[in-house]
Amino acid sequence: MQSSRLKIAATHVSPLPSRPNTNPCFRVFTPIASHLRPHSTLHPDRWQALLANYPDQNFPCMLANIARFGARVGYEGPHLRIRSRNHPSIYRIPDIITQNILQEVAEGRIAQISSLPPAFFISPLGAVEKKDQWSAYGLASYS
């Protein structure tokens, strides 16, 4: 008797409203040709399958497309050419920095380009020592 009441009650539950941070106010990805897509371990189809019962199906679709095409950083301002100086830390360990860049290229996470686009922002390279090991960081993006 009690279990049948639970089933009836469960069928009349209204879906939960979307969380406020699941509806961005800007485009979070840009569809691009397959040969330009970033290499990712995020498997878009798996994300959609895991979130198949999510109340707002726009959210799993958005996550899958971020995994598929990469995320936009959200910058919508004027098109500028900005290049920053590298942090002094990289000059202390040039071999490790070179090794890190070569590994990122080999794994398809970054690519060399022959010329810079009309607008871009290049963040500085740097390195941080973590438990007797160096970790390099940096980012180049264009719009």
pLDDT tens by residue, 104-125: 888 887 888 888 888 887 888 8
71-109, pLDDT tens digit by residue?
887 667 788 888 888 888 888 888 888 888 888 888 887
What pLDDT does 82 receive? 85
Question: pTM of the prediction?
Answer: 0.49
Q: Where are the domains of the chain?
A: 2-69, 81-142
The 3-state secondary structure of the chain reads: CHHHHHHHHHHCCCCCCCCHHHCCCCCCCCCCCHHHCCCCCCCHHHHHHHCCCCCCCHHHHHHHHHHHHCCCCCCCCCCCEEECCCCCHHHHCHHHHHHHHHHHHHCCCCCCCCCCCCCEEECCCEEEEECCEEEEECCEEEC
Confidence band of 141 (pLDDT split at 50, 70, 90): very low
What pLDDT does 18 receive? 67
What pLDDT does 74 receive? 63
Gap between the Cα atoms of 133 and 37, Å rounded: 31
Average pLDDT, the chain: 78
What pLDDT does 139 receive? 44
Owner of token pair 């897509």: 37
Provide the percentage of residues in the chain whose pLDDT is more than 90: 14
Evaluate if residue 3 carries a pLDDT over 50. Answer: no
